[in-house]
Amino acid sequence: MTTAPAAALARHPHDDLLRTERIPHIWCSGCGIGIVFGSLMAAITKSGLPRQDVAVVSGIGCTGRMAGYIRLDSFHTTHGRAIPFATGLQLARPQGKVIVASGDGDLLAIGGNHFIHAARRNMDLTIICVNNFNYGMTGGQLAPSTPYGAKTTTTPQGNPDEPFNFCALAAACGASYVARWTALHIRRLTNTILEAIHHRGFSFVEVVAPCPTAFGRRNKIRGALDLLRFYYDRSVVKNHIAPGEATIDFDHHLVVGKFVELDRPTFLDHYQMVNRGQVEAWPATGVDASAAGQRKAG
């Protein structure tokens, strides 16, 4: 970048969405985050949403830096807290679209509790989770996604933990849109992110992405392309499979595809219905109202 003559530099198609003055970015060569970032920008452009109505919120980590490079209202919050911050942002300005982009450790270890509750509420957020199976920025520590037996700097003899299946977790918690791709499924990933952006409710997109520097190197897959290929070759597209069966199994199948797409009211829809008196009191049947009233008075 520093050696190329300025005039020879072609404009990148997403330059208008980039804080170009912040380039070069911090990501390693061969990192999958750039691909996901490109897909995200392509999807935002395709969505046709007014730029000022889209915000990107992230937590801490390599993926969290996406918020720093995108020329939108963007918020780089504390570790794990992107989702509750985004919740407040979205509820304060419901006409806006709030996208959370962060890593697996940020969203599902330290931020796990926020994740499951935002999914339960069907909060109107799009969550892009770049899953690189470790904490890359800080040199490759154990993440809640690290495969059993894999080496990280905090599991030097191999990981004794069972990893989470994020898509199954999201679906079980109530996410109304759930999908997974690898970073090599670029076209499908872009379309999925676009769908997720247009989806009303909690949409979750997991992207299995290579971290050659910290994760691949320590687990004998040194080349970035080798790692990308390793994930891609094991992937099998199974749309609408039961999320619990959408496993990440490196010996057999790394299941990708769209697993959940439901139309259900968001938190704010429910909140407005309740406050307009449009929601029947619980329980709807089987209780003598006068008896219930008496208990309340007591």
Partner 1 sequence: MAGKAVLTGTHFMNGDEACCEGALAAGCRFFGGYPITPATEVAERMSKRLPQVGGVFIQMEDEIASMAAILGASWGGRKSMTSTSGPGFSLMMENIGLGLCTETPCVICNVQRAGPSTGLPTLVGQGDMMQARWGSHGPYEIIALCPASPQEMFDFTIRAFNLSEQFRLPVLIMADEVVGHMNERVVIPPADQIEVIDRAKPSVSPAEYLPYRPGPDGVAPMANFGDGYFMHVTGLTHDQRGYPTMTPAAQVEMTERIVGKIRNNLDRILDYETLLLDDAQVAVVAYGISARSARGAVLAAREAGLKAGLVKLNVAWPFPEQFIRELSHQVKCMIMPEINLGQMVLELERLAQGRCAVRLVAHPGGTIISPRRIVEAIGQALKERP
Considering the complex, what minimum distance in angstroms separates the CB of residue 124 from partner 1? 13
Q: Is 57 in the site for partner 1 (CB under 8 A)?
A: yes
**Element housing 171 (H / E):** helix 166-173
Q: Is 86 in the site for partner 1 (CB under 8 A)?
A: yes
Q: Is 269 in the site for partner 1 (CB under 8 A)?
A: no
**How many positions of this chain bind partner 1 (CB under 8 A)?**
40
Q: Going residue by residue from 109 to 148, which x/- string records binding to partner 1, judged by CB under 8 A?
A: ----xx--x-------------------------------
Please give the sequence-ordered ranges of beta strands (E in DSSP) within 10-63, or none if there are none: 54-58
Which residues lie closer than 8 Å to 157 by C-beta, 6 or more apart? 151
Tokens standing for residue 90: 């979205």
Taking each helix axis from N to C terminus, what angle separates 166-173 and 112-120, rounded to the nearest 10 degrees?
40
Q: Is 264 in the site for partner 1 (CB under 8 A)?
A: no
The whole-angstrom separation of Cα 149 and Cα 156 is: 10
Q: Is 37 in the site for partner 1 (CB under 8 A)?
A: no
The whole-angstrom separation of Cα 61 and Cα 71 is: 19
From candidates 78, 153, 154, 247, binder to partner 1 by CB under 8 A: 78
Considering the complex, what minimum distance in angstroms separates the CB of residue 72 from partner 1? 6
Tokens standing for residue 120: 């339960």
From candidates 19, 198, 200, 217, binder to partner 1 by CB under 8 A: 19
3 state SS of 220: coil
Q: Which is nearer to partner 1, 90 or 159 (CB)?
A: 90
Q: Which residues pair with 206 in a beta bridge?
A: 129, 180
Q: Which is nearer to partner 1, 67 or 150 (CB)?
A: 67
From candidates 51, 187, 222, 240, binder to partner 1 by CB under 8 A: 51
* Phi-psi sector, 283: left (phi>0), alpha (psi -120 to 50), beta: beta
Whether the CB-CB separation of 105 and 143 falls below 8 Å is answered with: yes
Q: Is 77 in the site for partner 1 (CB under 8 A)?
A: yes
Q: Is 14 in the site for partner 1 (CB under 8 A)?
A: no
From candidates 84, 174, 210, 212, binder to partner 1 by CB under 8 A: 84
Q: Is 25 in the site for partner 1 (CB under 8 A)?
A: no
Considering the complex, what minimum distance in angstroms separates the CB of residue 131 from partner 1? 22
Q: Is 72 in the site for partner 1 (CB under 8 A)?
A: yes
Whether the CB-CB separation of 147 and 233 falls below 8 Å is answered with: no
The whole-angstrom separation of Cα 94 and Cα 269 is: 11
Cα–Cα distance list, 154 to 135, 139, 147, 217 (Å): 10, 10, 13, 15
Q: Is the peptide bond before 24 cis (omega within 30 degrees of 0)?
A: yes
89-108 positions binding partner 1, by CB under 8 A: 89-93, 95-96
Binding site for partner 1 (CB under 8 A): 19, 22, 51-53, 55, 57, 67-68, 71-78, 81, 83-93, 95-96, 113-114, 117, 267-268, 271, 275-277
